Amino acid sequence: MDYVCPLDWRYGSEEMRNIFRVENIVRKYVEVERALVCTLEELGIAEKGCCEKVMKAEVKPEEVYEMERKIGHDIAGLAFLLEEKSGCRFVHYGATSYDIVDTTWALLIRDALKIIKRRVIELLEDLIDKARKYADLVMIGRTHGQHALPITLGFKFANYVYEISRGLEILMYAEKMIVRGKMSGAVGTMAAWEGRGLEVEKRTLEKLGLEPHAISTQVAPRDGFAFLISAIAIIGSQLDRLALEIRELSRPEIGEMYEAFERVGSSAMPHKANPVTSEKVSGLAKMLRGLIIPALENIPLWHERDLTNSSCERILIPHAFLILDEMLISMIKVLKNLAINEKNIKKNLELLRNFTLTEMVMNILIKKGISRRRAHEMLRRITRRYVEGKSLQEALLEDEEISKILTREEIESIRPENYLGNYRELIERAIQYALEVIERARKDLKTLPS
């Protein structure tokens, strides 16, 4: 209870927190230093036995940060400790701090992305199920918050299936550009490794399962981080849209869906089913949108680098992942516990007595040879009868001009379920796209070393 950051206890999973804890970061630093030393031994740059000795040496985070307090530098402290404990003087040989830090970021981000991708897939699978389950449940489509034309609930979910799959696709593009190792020395030239730098880089990164950047300065290019945070903020904003949908549709006047969790809604009004989990998702999305700014500002570093990305990224990256993690967990839970009120869906669909279907009528009129202008006039006249409490059908039947053009049968066929177009094929097309993206995402999950 001595935390100041809610991401240290309140938001995000333990699993994700474990990735970005100081102790895991130090563990990864050590892993990278070891991969380098072992490579140097393989190439005959470091003396025989170094690798084994360094593999055995243990360094604790507290030791590193005590060293940092003394010498003002964490990686220098780590290298010192590791050399001390292993007795191998080729620890960190030829490397710069950010060879370790950026390669560690790649490892941590890869691990964090596994969790994220797993959760996005879980969310997508639930959305796909719902898109199919409710494929034919007719409801009103809403634009501007107003009633537009009918859709089905499955069609609504299918749009989220498509959008969030796109988010996943963008995230995988970002992954390709950010999850790369950096092993190239103080200014990126690999100066210390006697002309064998490319081999040092290749072998060290292979041990860690990473591809290198084509070139680098003291650091990997920061555009990758900006791309990653953009992708995270995009997915976050997509989840925000889904959360917003649920929040709106659970208004008591609408009542089409609601979060069906057991809990106290608010301290003062214990009877309400407040969509608080969805609201949390919308709230956290705002944080993610803000995080793209420092990520972009980190791109223009000075020359072969300045340090201004460092403090910034220490906060930025764990926060972006933990916030998205919390949002995904929450959204998955909301979907699992989402109650659908079909009665209210039906009630709302009929609220405007089919006057939402004037487009359908207009199209029939046009098809029958009426000009758009004349059709418009007729419909304006018809629409005015809405306020008298008539249904669209009644108004049409009672209209002298129109009832001559349209048969009773035609008028009676003007119903939401007859104006759904190609919703089924579209739902399926969205799902097929999603499945294809999910399959690619799964392959990525498999091919990565554990």
**Residues 314 to 373: which contact its own copies by CB under 8 A?**
314-316, 318-319, 322-323, 348, 351-352, 355-356, 358-360, 363, 366-367, 369-373
Q: Which is nearer to its own copies, 253 or 449 (CB)?
A: 253
Q: Which is nearer to its own copies, 366 or 448 (CB)?
A: 366
Q: Which is nearer to its own copies, 304 or 398 (CB)?
A: 304
**11 counts as binding its own copies under rule CB under 8 A:** yes
Question: Which part of the chain contacts its own copies (CB under 8 A), choosing from 202-210, 271-279, 335-343, 406-414?
Answer: 271-279
Q: Which is nearer to its own copies, 137 or 187 (CB)?
A: 187
Q: Which is nearer to its own copies, 208 or 224 (CB)?
A: 224
Taking the complex as a whole, the smallest distance from the CB of residue 129 to its own copies amounts, in Å, to 16
Bridge-based pairing of strands 146-152 and 138-143 is antiparallel
Q: How many CB atoms lie within 10 A of CB 276?
A: 19
Q: Which of 13, 310, 341, 413 binds its own copies (CB under 8 A)?
A: 310
Contacts 24+ apart (CB under 8 A), 8-15: 11/284, 11/322, 11/323, 11/325, 11/326, 12/321, 12/322, 12/323, 12/325, 12/326, 12/329, 13/115, 13/325, 13/326, 13/329, 15/115
Question: Which part of the chain contacts its own copies (CB under 8 A), choosing from 119-127, 282-290, 334-342, 442-450?
Answer: 282-290
**Residues 429-448 vs its own copies: string with x where CB under 8 A?**
xx-xx---------------
**94 counts as binding its own copies under rule CB under 8 A:** yes
Helix 97-133 vs helix 308-336: crossing angle, to nearest 10? 20
**Residues 224-263 vs its own copies: string with x where CB under 8 A?**
x-xx--x--xx--xx-xx-xxx-xx-xxxxx------x-x
**Residues 380-419 vs its own copies: string with x where CB under 8 A?**
x--x--x--------------------------------x
Size of residue set near its own copies by CB under 8 A: 193
Taking the complex as a whole, the smallest distance from the CB of residue 263 to its own copies amounts, in Å, to 3
**Residues 63-92 vs its own copies: string with x where CB under 8 A?**
--x-----xxx-xx--xx--xx----xxxx
**Counting beta carbons within 10 angstroms of the beta carbon of residue 32, is it exposed (0 to 12), middle (13 to 18) or buried (19 or more)?**
buried
Cβ neighbours of residue 311 closer than 8 Å, sequence gap 6 or more? none
Q: Which of 55, 56, 58, 146 binds its own copies (CB under 8 A)?
A: 146
Subset of residues 100 to 139 that bind its own copies, contact rule: CB under 8 A: none
Q: How many angstroms separate the CA atoms of 431 and 321, rounded? A: 26
Q: Which is nearer to its own copies, 86 or 126 (CB)?
A: 86
**33 counts as binding its own copies under rule CB under 8 A:** no
Question: Which part of the chain contacts its own copies (CB under 8 A), choosing from 2-10, 51-59, 393-401, 439-447?
Answer: 2-10
**189 counts as binding its own copies under rule CB under 8 A:** yes
Give the residue numbers marked as catalytic: 144, 266
